[in-house]
């Protein structure tokens, strides 16, 4: 275990199992369709890479990046696009993949932006959700786990851009981010 880690919330094995289940569920629900899986950079990158390998359907991937102004731990609510998609999504079956929904502001902005481009369908898959922190209500179609309002890292999720490479999801020792 990494020296800065306080507690492991989800081990690599637990993540693998849940991601496999989500992949199966998505495979079943999109039978006969071709999917466009859109990852929200950078956090969702690791989750997306594992998830698509459990989706047994023809699919393509694309990426979008957004950021909200504010400190590293508190979103201001003003979201801006850092990187747009490479291709149009009109008439495509879009599945937007996030690592974490916190206030919901990033996802709300991205969902409105993408739905305006008239995809054939639009659904959201998040690995983690902190429902207690929500500032704007967001409906999620596929979810890995609900988590309490704790600061977490690993499996793509960072603190100051570090710890994304941990194979598990963990809380950090308070002295690390104090």
* One of 64, 96, 101, 172 touching ligand PRP (CB under 6 A): 101
Q: By the 8 A CB rule, do 6 and 170 touch?
A: yes
Give the C-alpha distances (Å, rounded to integers) separating 42 from 87, 112, 127, 131, 137: 19, 20, 14, 21, 23
User: Any bridge partners for residue 170, and if so which?
Assistant: 8, 153
Question: Is 50 an active-site residue?
Answer: no
H or E element, residue 6: strand 5-10
Our CA angle for 167, 169, 172, nearest 5°, is: 115
CB of 75 to ligand PRP, least distance (A): 4
Determine which residue in the list 19, 100, 172, 176 makes contact with ligand PRP, applying CB under 6 A.
100
Among 42, 54, 117, 143, binds ligand PRP (CB under 6 A): 42
* CA 105 to each of CA 15, 154, 166: distance values in angstroms, whole numbers, following the listed order: 25, 21, 26
Q: Does 126 bind ligand PRP (CB under 6 A)?
A: no
Helix (H, G, I), strand (E, B) or coil at 19: helix
Sole window of 35-43, 55-63, 111-119, 168-176 interacting with ligand PRP (rule: CB under 6 A) = 35-43
Q: Whose Cβ is closer to ligand PRP: residue 57's or residue 125's?
A: 125
Would you count residue 64 as binding ligand PRP (CB under 6 A)?
no
Q: How far is the CB of 157 from ligand PRP (least distance, A)?
A: 7
Residues forming the active site: 102
Q: Which residues of this protein are in contact with ligand PRP, per CB under 6 A? A: 40-43, 67-68, 75, 98-107, 158
């Amino acid at each position: 275990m990494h020296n800065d880690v306080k507690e492991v919330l989800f081990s690599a094995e637990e993540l693998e199992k849940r991601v496999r289940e989500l992949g199966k569920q998505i495979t079943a629900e999109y039978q006969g369709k071709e999917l466009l899986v859109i990852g929200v950079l950078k956090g969702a990158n690791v989750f997306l890479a594992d998830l698509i390998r459990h989706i047994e359907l023809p699919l393509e991937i694309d990426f979008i990046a957004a950021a909200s102004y504010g400190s590293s731990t508190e979103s201001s609510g003003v979201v801006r696009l850092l990187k747009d998609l490479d291709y149009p999504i009109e008439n495509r079956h879009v599945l937007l993949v996030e690592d974490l929904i916190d206030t919901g502001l990033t996802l709300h902005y991205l969902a409105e932006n993408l739905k305006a481009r008239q995809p054939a369908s639009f659904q959201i898959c998040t690995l983690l959700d902190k429902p207690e922190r929500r500032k704007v209500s967001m409906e999620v179609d596929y979810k890995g786990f609900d988590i309490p309002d704790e600061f977490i890292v690993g499996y793509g999720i960072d603190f100051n851009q570090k710890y994304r490479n941990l194979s598990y999801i963990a809380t950090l020792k308070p002295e690390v981010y104090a």
